[in-house]
Amino acid sequence: MDCNPRLLLFILHLLMSCVVPAFLTIYPPNEVNLLDSKASQGELGWISYPSHGWEEISGVDEHYTPIRTFQVCNVMEYSQNNWLRTNWIPRQSAQKIYVELKFTLRDCNSIPLVLGTCKETFNLLYLETDDDQGSHFREHQFLKIDTIAADESFTQTDLGDRILKLNTEVREVGPLSKKGFYLAFQDVGACVALVSVRVYFKKCPQTVRNLASFRDTVPIDSQSLVEVPGLCVNNSKEEEPPRMYCSTEGEWLVPIGKCLCNPGYEERSSTCQMCREGFYKSTHGNMECSKCPPHSFSHHEGSLHCGCEKNYFRAEGDPASMACTRPPSAPRNVISSINETSVILDWSWPEDTGGRRDITFNVLCKRCRGTAANVSTSGTLHCEPCRSNVRFLPRATGLHNTTVTVGDLLAHTNYTFEIEAQNGVSPLAFKMRQYAAVTITTNQAAPSPVTVIRKEKTSRNSVSLSWQEPDRPNGIILDYEIKYYEKEEQETSYTILRARGCNVTLNGLKPNTAYLLQIRARTAAGYGATSPSFQFETSPDSAFSISSENSQVVLIAISCAVAIILVTVLLYVLIGRFCCRSKSKHPDEKRLHFGNGHLRLPGIRTYVDPHTYEDPSQAVHEFAKELEASGIAIDKVVGAGEFGEVCSGRLKLPSKKEICVAIKTLKGGYTDKQRRDFLAEASIMGQFDHPNIIRLEGVVTRSKPVMIVTEYMENGSLDSFLRKHDAQFTGIQLVGMLRGIASGMKYLSDMGYVHRDLAARNILVNSNLVCKVSDFGLSRVLEDDPEAAYTTRGGKIPIRWTAPEAIAYRKFTSASDAWSYGIVLWEVMSYGERPYWEMSNQDVIKAVDEGYRLPPPMDCPATLYQLMLDCWQKERNNRPKFEQIVSILDKLIRNPCSLKITANTTSRPANLLLDRSSAEVPSVGTMGDWMDAMRTLPCKEAFSGVSYSSCDTLAKTSTDRVVLTEVHVTPATCPDWEPSMGITTL
Ligand code: AMP
């Protein structure tokens, strides 16, 4: 090498200013070096040919890091051809390589005295071989990659110095196929310093994208993109196959698909890590783990679910994010309303729903022996599950509403209903079951209909039938009513028979005729629903033709039958007479004939609840006569009923005298139910036939307006009538009125009808002062009554008139009617005073319950006051029966003197009412004693230890309200008081 000092200076300059320190070099991650001259600390060992050409020089950079460079600068000589060849470089997986050269190149103009041979380029070449060929070197084997020129050579400084600039050139080579290659640098007369040579190839480096890991991938030169499948990282699962493309530039492109962390793991720094304690993740996904919901916990890492705290549960379908819940508490405020053999149960939602909304209710029915108070020695009621035919409406389990109707229970039976609230976790917590229980006793109920009727024998004039007892007799069947008629006549004329047993023979039928028949059973609770119509036909005349050999037998049989019939008729007449005398109520078979649906032979019958009819309009037509609207003339409005006006008017029936009537109308726009309820009153009234019960003339249902026509009661309702005529009647007149009411009530109770709303306002008075019980209906009676108030158990009750047991637990009986009668008695004797005056309903209930009773009205005969007190006995069985009341009043009327003993008061206690326990009231012990006292009471001392006042006081009236504190009895002579009009029977 020429030791030109300027050249050496140049080289030194070059080395000190241009070299990039190797240890600082950081290459892009997608570049894989195959050769880096700077990385070598020692001699590189490259071949230089000829030997005076390229020269390897060692130096240090500014950090004193040794580097190796090559330089050549034979610019002063002609025909330069200097080669520098690298060592053999294994290709590895590279298909395409990049050669990065850093060099300086001296500008020929800057070199003085050059002889025109100076060059400013050098050549880059390569040779592929499968093995290292050592020092063997042939120029012609090398392929040229490019001629390398400097972008910049020297630049001029302000001081006029020239500074070397480092050039970087990169060339691509490929595709390569052999195992390795050499690079060669050919200098043809330039002044060049090769500072570094780096050979590298590009790859897509291993990476994790969307939780999928992609391996190192070397791009294939022939293809622009390489599709690379990804592998899900640990604890994750492929959602959609992950893929990416590796470009020739070593870049990952277009990630597709992804992986999701497994349950219990969440994504953290491109990995799936376990959930921490107190957190959970129940599904695949790259969301974070969630905190455990209320009433749950997780004590370890990687939880899929959080466990529930003690007594808390998770139902099968509950999401893991939902709080743990528990069974609900018991339902509250269970109310039962008993209607014969069905009960409506109502309750409120449980106080604690357990944190859930899926509450349903189950009702368990148990039939219990004895009452709730009557428990076994083990302390439990003797209960057994109810029979399967008990009906629940809508159903017994899985109820979403807080009410259920239970039907088809046995009459007079104790039942316990356990009402349990359930939610989704109740099945998991059986031991935590809580329920509310209610025990009820069913009432009477009419029997269910007869469903099976069989024809046993038919002849031309008779048929024998048998039937099965109803499925649910609901009591002892007293008898069966058999109603039949010719099919063609369509019920316009029919016959009714009664039978005690389950069979009957119908005689006197027309031959060869079709009949329809219906049967209904009767118990103490009344008639049950009628059976479906049963059709039978009598034999034709020809069927009666008999063969000659039998004719004699038949003749004998007929003779016998005629004889038997004659004897039977005779006996019937005799027994009938005897029965009439002995007032037998239920002959074994009693025939009642009805024509045009009208009763011809009324016997002692039982009230039939029209609601037991499947079709209530059938009941109306059974018990009420259909009237022609043209026969009715309306005169004026006399009152207002619930369903429309009440008018007075006239009724003219064909071939009868015109009579005054009251006409109740059903106002327009009524619903079906209103029509039914309106006509129900007629269905009930039409069953009664008594001088002290308002008489039904008939109904108009086939034209509008629908009407109920009754006898007209000139003086209207009793309460207003009395108020209008305050103090104007004699004691006997008042007792007469009371006797009429009692007589009507006796009739009703004999019929098995409980009025429930007996009050002076529901008694009508005619021009003869005859009092008649009116206002019949079912629930309507109470709904209609302005006095009726809602009780805590639901339902409306006229508190002041109603017996405590009826208020407390709806025990309505003739005995509760007797209590009401006592109040009517008080109303009558006080000329329409309001019972308990201005006291509130609640105060009335409380006072009555504590034993307080209304005091005697002013100048009230002691006997009548005693009767009131007896009617107000707490124990209902101790109250007088209406029969007894009628009898007592009859005796009073026969002995008017007894009315002169008054039960007056001289002062009024602060609480207005009389405490029965402390009051001095005439007491005659039991009802029997009472009756005896009445029998022996003619105008003599009936009670001892009491003072007397004059008879006149009875006739006197006063508007002052005073309360009894002492009793005055008058033994003086009494004028004979005649019963006034209005007293029908004595
Ligand atoms: P009711 O709907 O039965 O309560 O009748 C309302 C009012 O009509 C009663 O208070 C009476 O004033 C009057 N009223 C009802 N029926 C009759 C009748 N048969 N005779 C006279 N007035 C009656």
CA-closest residue to ligand 1 atom 16: 662
**DSSP codes of every residue in 37-103:** GGG--S----EEESTTSSEEEEEE-TT--EEEEEEEE-TTSSS--EEEEPPPEE-TT-SSEEEEEEE
Ligand 1 site residues (CB inside 6 A) read 638-639, 641, 646, 662, 694, 710, 712-713, 716-717, 764, 774-775
Q: How far is CA 260 from the centre of its chain?
A: 42
Please, what's the largest Cα pairwise distance for the chain? 183
Taking the chain (986 residues) in consecutive chunks of 10 residues, what is each chunk's mean pLDDT? 44 45 68 88 86 84 74 86 94 92 85 74 95 89 92 55 76 92 94 92 93 91 81 94 90 91 94 95 91 94 93 90 93 84 88 93 87 48 84 93 88 88 90 86 78 91 92 81 86 80 90 92 78 91 45 52 65 46 32 32 64 78 91 89 88 90 89 88 92 95 92 95 92 92 95 93 92 78 58 71 92 94 97 93 92 92 94 96 94 85 56 56 40 36 27 28 27 32 26
Task: Say how far apart CA 748 and CA 398 lie, in whole Å.
Answer: 44
- For the residues of 802-848, what is the DSSP string, one character each? S-HHHHHH----HHHHHHHHHHHHHHHHTTSPPTTTT--HHHHHHHH
Is 603 annotated as belonging to a binding site?
no
Among 441, 397, 395, CA closest to 420:
397
d(CA 844, CA 856): 16
Q: Which numbered atom of ligand 1 lies nearest the CA of 640? A: 6
3-state secondary structure of 683: helix
* Ligand 1 atom index nearest CA of 714: 21
Distance from the alpha carbon of residue 716 to the mean position of ligand 1, in angstroms: 6
User: Quick one: which of 813, 812, 811, 809 has its CA closest to 793?
Assistant: 809
What does each C-alpha distance from 892 to 293, 730, 735 come to in angstroms?
83, 13, 8
Which residue owns the Cα nearest ligand 1 atom 15? 646
Pocket test for ligand 1, best of 719, 764, 768, 775 (most atoms within 8 A of CB): 764
> Hey, whose CA ends up nearest to atom 3 of ligand 1?
775
Q: How far apart are CA 852 and CA 844, in angstroms?
A: 9
Q: Is 185 annotated as a binding residue?
A: no
**641 assigned to a ligand binding site:** yes
Quick one: DSSP state of residue 548?
A: H
pLDDT, position 558: 57
Residue 636, marked binder: no
Give the position of tokens 């009579």: 659
469 is in an annotated binding site: no
Whole-number Å distance between alpha carbons of 463 and 255: 97
Residue with tokens 């996904």: 285
Among 642, 643, 646, the mutation site with the greatest number of ligand 1 atoms within 8 A of its Cβ is 646
Residue nearest to atom 8 of ligand 1 (CA): 639
**SS3 letters for 462-518?**
CEEEEECCCCCCCCCCCEEEEEEEEHHHCCCEEEEEEECCCEEEECCCCCCCEEEEE
Domains of the chain: 31-202 (2.60.120.260), 207-261 (2.60.40.1770), 332-370+382-442 (2.60.40.10), 453-537 (2.60.40.10), 613-712 (3.30.200.20), 717-900 (1.10.510.10)
Is 508 assigned to a binding site?
no
C-alpha closest to that of 30 among 247, 256, 254? 247
Active site residue 915: no
Please choose from 635, 638, 677 the residue to mutate so as to test ligand 1's pocket, defined by most ligand atoms within 8 A of CB: 638
Distance 761 CA to ligand 1 centre (A): 9
The predicted structure's pLDDT at residue 52: 87
Point out the ligand 1 atom lying closest to the alpha carbon of residue 642: 2
Looking at residue 211, what is its pLDDT?
Answer: 94
Annotated catalytic residue within 757, 817, 859, 870: 757
Q: List for the chain the helix, strand, coil content (%; round to 5).
A: 20, 30, 45
- Cα 781 to ligand 1 centre (Å): 13
